[in-house]
Structure 1
Amino acid sequence: MDEVDRQIVALLRQDARRSFQSIGMRVSLSAPAVKRRVDKLEAEGVVRGYTARVDPGRFGWTTHALVSLYCEGRMPANEVRDAVERHPEVEAAYTVAGEASAVVHVRARDTAHLEETLERIRDHPGVTRTQTQIVLSTLFERPFEA
């Protein structure tokens, strides 16, 4: 991946709907040349897909929390994933070093919905407890920039 590819990726991250022609004008390439580079970036797994960024609050999901998940013994990562990925409220999950087995980002409509979600997660075999920190405000979120 060269500097032009990095510029193309940065432009797509700003606006994934940007045309190849528009990108080409910014990086001094023709639209077909940009398309070939984007196709190659997709084939290599650099660009994994395209998405719309949505404000969960506009859909009524105004509560979110960071949840430390504690599991029995050495629960394998795939079992931890199985415990949380089936819950639509779980936005992301990460295994971590330290006392907790994982940290989970949960979004919910309100605290009652959050509590119900945590109860469902704790019902999974092997999950022993959770420790929840409710987010009061988002100072900023920074997407990865290449």
Structure 2
Amino acid sequence: MHDPPEPQGRRPGDTRGGQPPSPPPPTPEDDIDAVDEQLLALLQANGRASYAELARQVGLSAPAVHERVGKLESAGVITGYTAVVNAAAVGLGVTALVGIIDSDEIDDVGMLQAVSELPAVQDCWRTAGTEGYVLKVRVTDIPALEDTINALNRIRGVSRTRTTVVLSTKWEGRHGREE
């Protein structure tokens, strides 16, 4: 017996009306092919695209696209779907990149826990070089940025910080870039 075809208007990650059927777990031979790469690029550009729309663009049926996207999700290639919010429109007019320079007493777990509790910190990357971590911080204004930097400098294991204030954002992620 076969499952009914995927509803045409459904989107990846949409669980309304119950959970979608679980795809089989990925196996080592489930390599990402050119169609998967195309699906990933399309979903990165528009995570709200329906399976039917994705299918039209890659030349497969909607159920086949649904299965492929499910496998990419199960394999951890696709880790989630998100809304991209205009930070200034929600009152976060200042963006900064803050490098953390570790001290000798760095406790990565404790430091990361403390950083994750700061609402202004949106992203955190472990980096090579002078700075052990780089954070993307979004705040309302410069005094709020100063407060966040002071809070970061009080965390055990942070020797000092180095901050770069973003003057303007041309794009984030892959938006705005031509392939």
- Give the TM-score taking structure 1 as reference length: 0.88
State the shift of 1:81 in Å. 1.6
Give the equivalent residue in structure 2 for 1:50.
81
C-alpha separation in 1, matches of 2:125 and 2:90: 25
Which has the higher relative contact order, 1 or 2, with Cα contacts under 8 A spaced 6 or more apart? 1
Give the equivalent residue in structure 2 for 1:132.
163
1:25 aligned counterpart, secondary structure: helix
Matched, 1:31 2:46: no
C-alpha separation in 2, matches of 1:74 and 1:3: 46
State the shift of 1:74 in Å. 5.7
Give the equivalent residue in structure 2 for 1:70.
101
Cα deviation, 1:69-105, whole Å, max 9, x if unaligned, reads: 1222162433332231111111112222222222221
2:85 aligned counterpart, secondary structure: coil
C-alpha separation in 1, matches of 2:121 and 2:173: 19
1:42 aligned counterpart, secondary structure: helix
State the shift of 1:123 in Å. 1.7
Q: Which amino acid aligns with 1:78?
A: V
Matched, 1:22 2:68: no
Match of 2:145 among 90, 114, 117: 114
Of all paired residues, the percent bearing the same amino acid is 38
C-alpha separation in 1, matches of 2:51 and 2:159: 51
Give the equivalent residue in structure 2 for 1:102.
133
Which stretch shifts more, 113-122 or 76-85?
76-85
Match of 1:4 among 35, 39, 63: 35
Aligned length: 146
Structure 1 runs (4+) deviating above 6 angstroms are none
Gaps of 5+ in 2: 1-31
Match of 2:90 among 59, 72, 90: 59
Which stretch shifts more, 106-115 or 1-10?
1-10
C-alpha separation in 1, matches of 2:126 and 2:50: 37
Contact 2:111–2:156 (CA<8 Å) still a contact in 1? Answer: no
